[in-house]
């Protein structure tokens, strides 16, 4: 189970920006800045507020629920920003080969960092049912795919 918990920490870091949460007022879960070309061609800030709950399940599985969670993404070059309600649910299961199969349902934001050598680097709002896989070190084993709407947030704020 320790391996699952370690993978979940890596996964949560990937989803929330590969950085620590800033200890700020009340319900700020994450306030992180990315340099130009880490996610988007320009520097970008993500501010995640609301609540998030990690639930460990039997069989090396977990669920992350995010009721009332919002993310504000700001293009730090232009100052333009967008805010999304991201109340989706994340389901994960550790596989025998060490990868974690992840399914996201509802409204979620996925970060694909260039350093992780993603097939589809950037910042995406996913609305629907999507899945992807992460290696044991948190890098992308398989890029997201599924059914629903995909919004390229980097392109939107460019």
Q: Where are the beta strands (DSSP E) in the chain?
A: 28-34, 44-49, 53-57, 61-65, 70-75, 81-85, 89-94, 100-112, 122-134, 140-152
pLDDT at 17 over 70: no
- With CA atoms as reference, report the closest residue to 147 among 90, 106, 100, 88: 106
Tell me, what's the pLDDT at 75? 98
Give pTM, 2 decimals: 0.81
Alpha-helical (H) ranges within the chain are 2-15, 153-157
Q: What angle do CA 116, 17, 27 make, to 5 degrees?
A: 165
State pLDDT tens for residues 100-157.
Answer: 999 999 999 998 887 777 888 899 999 999 999 988 887 889 999 999 999 999 999 9
* The total number of structural domains that make up the chain: 1
Query: Structure tokens of 49?
Result: 């507020």
Domain containing residue 126: 2-22+31-157
Query: Structure tokens of 154?
Result: 């980097």
Tell me, what's the pLDDT at 20? 34
State pLDDT tens for residues 53-89.
Answer: 888 999 999 998 888 899 999 999 999 999 999 999 9
* Dihedral pair phi/psi, residue 30, rounded to 5°: -160, 135
What are 5's strand-pairing partners?
none
């Amino acid at each position: 189970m320790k391996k699952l918990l370690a993978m979940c920490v890596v996964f949560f870091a990937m989803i929330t920006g590969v950085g620590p949460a800033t200890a700020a007022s009340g319900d700020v879960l994450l306030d992180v800045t990315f340099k130009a070309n880490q996610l988007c061609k320009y520097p970008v800030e993500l501010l995640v507020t609301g609540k998030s709950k990690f639930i460990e399940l039997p069989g090396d599985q977990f669920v992350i629920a995010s009721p009332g969670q919002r993310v504000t993404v700001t293009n730090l070059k232009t100052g333009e920003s967008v805010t999304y309600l991201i109340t989706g649910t994340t389901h994960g299961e550790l596989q025998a080969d060490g990868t974690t199969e992840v399914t996201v349902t509802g409204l979620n934001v996925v970060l694909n960092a260039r350093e992780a050598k993603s097939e589809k680097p950037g910042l995406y709002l996913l609305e629907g049912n999507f899945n992807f896989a992460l290696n044991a070190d948190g890098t992308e084993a398989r890029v997201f795919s599924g059914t629903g709407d995909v919004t390229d947030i980097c392109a939107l704020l460019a």
